Amino acid sequence: MKKHTIRLHPLGKEIQVNDLTPLIDVLHEFGIEFPCGGKGTCGKCKVRLLDGEIQITYQHRQKLERLALAPDWRLACFSKCTSDITLEVEQFNHLILADESEFDFTPQKGFGIAIDFGTTTIVAQLVDLTSANVLAVETMLNPQVKFGADLISRIQSCLDGHTGEMTQIIRSAIGTMIGLILKRQDVHLEKVVLVGNTVMQLIFSGCDVSPLSMYPFHAGDLGMKVFTPEELGWKLQVKEKVQFYPSIGSFVGSDILAGIAATGLHRKENFTALIDLGTNGEIVIGNIDQIVCASTAAGPAFEGANISMGMRAVTGAISSLSLIDGKMEVSVIGNTAAKGICGSALIDAVAILRKMDLIGMFGEINSGEDKIQLTQKVYLTQKDINEFQLAKAAIAAGLTILSNKLEIQVADIHEIYIAGGFGNYINLTNVVETGMIELPEEKIHKMGNTALIGAKMFLFEDSEMTQEILSKTIHVNLEGDPNFQNIYVDKMLFQ
Ligand code: FES
């Protein structure tokens, strides 16, 4: 078969592909995102054709015109490779958090692999079960991103009939990661443990996700899923079956179960909370007696979605802002000119604009104008500020409603742990300033990849700890709370 070379600028990478290979099949490995899952509506997979030719179909041309893209741009999701080409692509540096933290364990014989299977990124660690030392790490971008960036678009792709393909590519990708680890470390595996959100669990397991697309959002069996390596198409020896840990509720997966284990909140007398500020914004509050948890719709604004100049934490994004001598100073990833703003800086911007009295308690721009310039090019509009208010209110309302369920006040929470890659980069002073978390900063701690920490802990446990956590945990539907609307609207204000 005819082969072609694709050169990626400015990554300096070259790939060889077969004639007629769809670009969507190969570019996701380099961080190109396909947020709408290849429907041609988001325009985020756009690439600039610097050299060579990509033929444009009628449908492709219509999409390009609708997105008002210049003639040298193509949508990767509509393009096939028919000659040698050079493409300019956006450089996505996804943050992949591995983990080296220490935890209590009872030594065992052998080796295990713990895997945090996220919507965007996947991390696998080989652990020596006699010492809990990490011997090898593999990370990768989730190859399912070509079916959409977030959970909703992944579910939609399943509804469009792609479940089988998505199951197959993820099993194969994780099998390859494990293979790479075992190539470097020739050991006999005792266990492989996976954790991930509910949608990832169902797709990996080849289960139906359609119940998650409609009310009452009850996914069928969310319990522990076990597989032999042969069932997954993995050519490797594992003493025990591969285990995908159980989800807690329809949108609260085993990544949060692992997070609870990592914080140890299920064994503490004082009430402790865990917040994962990922796409889904999960919140857990509990202690040794009881635990409540919920998911919120906080994520999109923090990931730059729905913000006019919002972008991921990539080159050109403002990553933080500070107020120095009454003037706003910005830090830009890659030290280049600012092209947009990412989630961590959005929190800073709103906190600072409040401090400068440029926005009022309802989020209104005090000057009456429609936008505020942060730099010469980058600005926040009134709508952006309102989007932020929705996101921060989702977290603040979630904390309040879950506290109410436990018959405590938010102020009674002894400590809050922030999980996830995004959480690692936020400025806690500004988080408190905006009212997203209504507790003193000293009570809030960043904990990194709690899902991976918990998955490693599961390598040392039988199912007892999982059962202990699940038996204490109640999944709460926040919107179902009779006071939800009032609390949510109240939390949108800047007090
Ligand atoms: S336009 Fe959305 S993925 Fe291509």
Measure 147 CA to ligand 1 centroid, in angstroms.
Answer: 10
Atom number, ligand 1, closest to the C-alpha of residue 37? 3
Write out the DSSP string of 11-39: TTEEEEEETTEEHHHHHGGGT---TTSSS
Question: What is the rounded distance in angstroms from the CA atom of residue 411 to the CA atom of residue 273?
Answer: 11
In terms of Cβ atoms closer than 10 Å to its own Cβ (0-12, 13-18, 19+), residue 55 is: exposed
Give the contacts of 35 (CB within 8 A, at least 6 positions apart): 42, 44, 45, 148, 149, 150, 153, 305
Which of 28, 33, 39 for a ligand 1 pocket mutation test, highest count of atoms within 8 Å of Cβ? 39
Measure 180 CA to ligand 1 centroid, in angstroms.
Answer: 31
Measure 42 CA to ligand 1 centroid, in angstroms.
Answer: 5
What is the pLDDT tens value at each position of the chain, 495 positions in all? 899 999 988 777 899 999 999 999 888 878 787 878 888 888 878 899 999 999 999 999 988 888 888 889 999 999 999 999 999 886 555 566 778 888 999 999 999 999 999 988 899 999 999 999 999 999 888 889 888 878 888 999 999 999 999 999 999 999 999 999 999 998 999 999 999 999 999 999 999 999 988 887 887 789 999 999 999 999 999 999 999 999 999 889 999 999 999 999 999 999 999 999 866 789 999 999 999 999 997 766 777 777 888 887 777 889 999 999 989 999 987 777 898 998 899 999 999 999 999 999 999 999 999 999 999 999 999 999 999 999 999 999 999 999 999 999 999 999 999 998 778 889 999 999 999 999 999 999 999 999 999 999 999 998 889 999 999 999 999 999 999 999 999 999 998
Q: Tell me 310's DSSP state.
A: B
Q: What is the pLDDT of residue 148?
A: 83
Identify the residues whose C-beta falls under 6 Å from ligand 1: 34-36, 38-45, 75, 77
Atom number, ligand 1, closest to the C-alpha of residue 78? 4
Q: What is the pLDDT of residue 145?
A: 82
Q: Which amino acid is at 320?
A: S
Q: What is the pLDDT of residue 293?
A: 97
Question: What is the rounded distance in angstroms from the CA atom of residue 232 to the CA atom of residue 248?
Answer: 24
Structure tokens at 307: 């913000």
Take atom 1 of ligand 1 and give the residue whose Cα is closest. Answer: 40
Measure 47 CA to ligand 1 centroid, in angstroms.
Answer: 11
Atom number, ligand 1, closest to the C-alpha of residue 63? 1
Measure 214 CA to ligand 1 centroid, in angstroms.
Answer: 24
Q: Which helix (H) or strand (E) holds 447?
A: strand 444-448
Would residue 279 be called left, alpha or beta, if left means φ above 0 and alpha means ψ between -120 and 50 degrees? alpha
Q: What is the pLDDT of residue 140?
A: 87
Q: What is the pLDDT of residue 280?
A: 74
Atom number, ligand 1, closest to the C-alpha of residue 34? 3
Whether 154 contacts 33, CB under 8 Å: no
Answer whether 3-88 and 93-247 agree in fold: no
Atom number, ligand 1, closest to the C-alpha of residue 67? 1
Superfamily of chain region 93-247: Domain of unknown function (DUF4445) (3.30.420.480)
Superfamily of chain region 3-88: Beta-grasp domain (3.10.20.30)
Question: What is the rounded distance in angstroms from the CA atom of residue 385 to the CA atom of residue 365?
Answer: 9
Question: What is the rounded distance in angstroms from the CA atom of residue 50 to the CA atom of residue 86?
Answer: 5
Atom number, ligand 1, closest to the C-alpha of residue 43? 1
Measure 369 CA to ligand 1 centroid, in angstroms.
Answer: 33
Q: Which amino acid is at 164?
A: G
Measure 190 CA to ligand 1 centroid, in angstroms.
Answer: 41
Q: What is the pLDDT of residue 94?
A: 58
Measure 297 CA to ligand 1 centroid, in angstroms.
Answer: 22
Measure 317 CA to ligand 1 centroid, in angstroms.
Answer: 21
Whether 350 contacts 382, CB under 8 Å: no
Q: What is the pLDDT of residue 410?
A: 98
Which of 27, 33, 42 for a ligand 1 pocket mutation test, highest count of atoms within 8 Å of Cβ? 42
Atom number, ligand 1, closest to the C-alpha of residue 148? 3
Question: What is the rounded distance in angstroms from the CA atom of residue 160 to the CA atom of residue 169?
Answer: 16
Would residue 123 be called left, alpha or beta, if left means φ above 0 and alpha means ψ between -120 and 50 degrees? beta
Bridge partners (DSSP) of residue 322 are 329
Domain limits, the chain: 3-88, 93-247, 266-495
